[in-house]
Structure 1
Amino acid sequence: MFNDEILNTMTKKTIANILVPTDFSECAANALEAAISVAKVHNARITLLHVVSPIPEFYGLQKDRIVKEQQQELLDSQSDRIMKLGNSLQENHGLSVVPIIVVGQTVATVLETAKALDVDLIVMGTHGIKGFREFLIGSNTYGVTEKSASPVLSIPQSSITNGFEKIMFPVRNIPNALEKYEFLKTFVATGNASLFIYGIYKIDDEHLMEAYKKVSAFVKGIENDWLSIKLTSVITEESLADEALEQAAQMKCDLIVITSKVTSSFNDFFLGKFAQQVINHSIMPVLHIK
């Protein structure tokens, strides 16, 4: 159920350090544009991270030497590329940019870097995944989102981000559903945005009326934070993620904000988690806060 003390326990958090992994693809470039927009609002530093996959080693001194030379050549070329990108961002946008290049596996390296630098936000592009494949392997973005302690902003390749002014916050009947609101408020950092709180509940959820009353009271307490705020609720037998995505598309929202405490049980994984479904299928940016 919802926490009665939400408004009393939320703490203010600044956004000063943004981590942006890049593979120099169009998808990554789109995510970088979104990160630039956020960095300008918060006067934040951008850490650009490029992860180079290790070249498999072979037995034998001669083959091992060749592999090391190939790895170094790849590192040198990619280092030059990310340095040029970082310099371009600093010159064109006046931002503080720190380029980093690391040899490793993408998800693990992003998580290790985020923890080491204590970043406030990770911004990543996502291609989206269709069908049964999403349950078996997922994406780098979801892999990071699943394990990251930092909030993750995922940017679909097809989306164009010019700031966030119409925001959907889907609320489910789960513990602490609203407790991360303060980060959302900090993230938006403007009184010119509209917030749409969308209560989505399963038809067999318990204590629905109690949940609705608590969300309604919460909305009244934050009305002055937004240009406008609206609360709508729906009870459904369908997928909660599908309901949220359909409604967000109809309202032409430019950001969906989700919170969750991800579990790792096989049953949850196989059925498809709310967060995974939203991130992988959304046509608009998704901010995931744990």
Structure 2
Amino acid sequence: MKKIMVPVDFSEFSEYALEVAANLAKAYGAEIQVFHMLGISESVLAANEAIEMAEAKYYMGMAKERFATFLNKDYLKGIRITEIIQNYKVFSEINELAKEQDIDLIVMGSHGSKGLSEFFVGSNTEKVVRTSAIPVLVIKQRRPQFKMEKVVFACDFKKENLFAFIHAVNLFATHGAQLNLVYVNKPNEYYITKAELDERITYFMSKVRDQNVTNMNVAYVTDYSIEHGILEYCKQIQADLVAIPTHGRKGWAHFFVGSLGENMANHAEIPVMTFRI
């Protein structure tokens, strides 16, 4: 991991994300790019080009002043920080910027079950996740000692999830994290036998034999809901975070049919990371 992006709206939630990003940057020797999206509408800007330019510079200057205060944190000392301010208004543009900057991970703040915070109003966190080809780590509370030593990867072991799985292996397992794959079987719904699941798992494991994986577990649990089963398993093993594959623009994946991904991001007490399928 070399570059981490943190979208910032200067709220306490984006500060939570910034502190987590700082922990990761120190652990992996990475740099942080803090990104602020002005989102100035055309109605705010003047019709006159010269005045419009002056107004844009004014808002840009305000953002830079806020960055000066926002980034004055002891936990950022020794970390290379790059500030990016753009007048983006469409969340897919964050993905384009992240690809352009060769970002490895996006860390963003969320208000959790009470709704998403300020900059990430409504379903905007979901919009970022759906348009991001890069893993997104969602943080909902302050975690000054954040770590990624014990990770749960929720998976149904279908072939369509293989790319996300390999991406997760590269990010977690190769850095010494314990990767715990969990499949949740619902009685009378999506139910498969142990033999069928073993066949899927064997196929998955065959695809990561060259990834130098030495610390991986597979769990098979039964629960009345996928979300509850995953969260209970996370509590059981005291996981640091839960990773979820997503279809991106097509919506949340699986078994992640409906709003499971959103529910996980909102209700999970631990951080949630998404990987594009």
Seen in structure 2, the aligned counterparts of structure 1 residues 47 and 124 have a Cα distance that, compared at 3 Å, is: same
How large is the Cα RMSD of the aligned pairs? 3.6
Seen in structure 2, the aligned counterparts of structure 1 residues 289 and 60 have a Cα distance that, compared at 3 Å, is: closer
CA shift, 1:23, in A, is 0.9
Aligned counterpart in structure 1 of residue 184 of structure 2, from 188, 191, 200: 200
1:235 aligned onto 2:219: no
Aligned counterpart in structure 2 of residue 77 of structure 1, from 46, 54, 62: 62
Seen in structure 2, the aligned counterparts of structure 1 residues 59 and 49 have a Cα distance that, compared at 3 Å, is: closer
Aligned counterpart in structure 2 of residue 185 of structure 1, from 153, 157, 169: 169
* Aligned equivalents of 2:242, 2:170: Cα separation in 1: 15
Alignment of 1:11-90 (within 5 A): 15-55=1-41, 57=43, 71-83=56-68, 85=70, 88=72
* Aligned equivalents of 2:230, 2:154: Cα separation in 1: 6
Deviations, residues 160-200 of structure 1 (Å, cap 9, x unaligned): 54211221112225333344334333333533x33322111
CA shift, 1:18, in A, is 1.5
CA shift, 1:54, in A, is 0.7
| Aligned twin of 1:118 | 102
CA shift, 1:57, in A, is 2.0
1:156 aligned onto 2:140: yes
C-alpha contact (below 8 Å) 1:47/1:99 kept by paired residues: yes
- Count of residues paired in the alignment: 263
* Aligned equivalents of 1:217, 1:58: Cα separation in 2: 55
Deviations, residues 71-102 of structure 1 (Å, cap 9, x unaligned): 5433211112225655x479943222210111
* Aligned equivalents of 1:97, 1:119: Cα separation in 2: 13
Q: Which moved more, 1:41-50 or 1:156-165?
A: 156-165
Q: Which amino acid aligns with 1:154?
A: V
Seen in structure 2, the aligned counterparts of structure 1 residues 246 and 70 have a Cα distance that, compared at 3 Å, is: farther
Superposition TM-score, scaled by structure 1 size: 0.74
Unpaired segments ≥5 residues, structure 2: 116-120
| Aligned twin of 1:95 | 79
Secondary structure of the corresponding residue to residue 143 of structure 1:
helix
C-alpha contact (below 8 Å) 1:53/1:103 kept by paired residues: yes
Superposition TM-score, scaled by structure 2 size: 0.77
CA shift, 1:110, in A, is 1.8
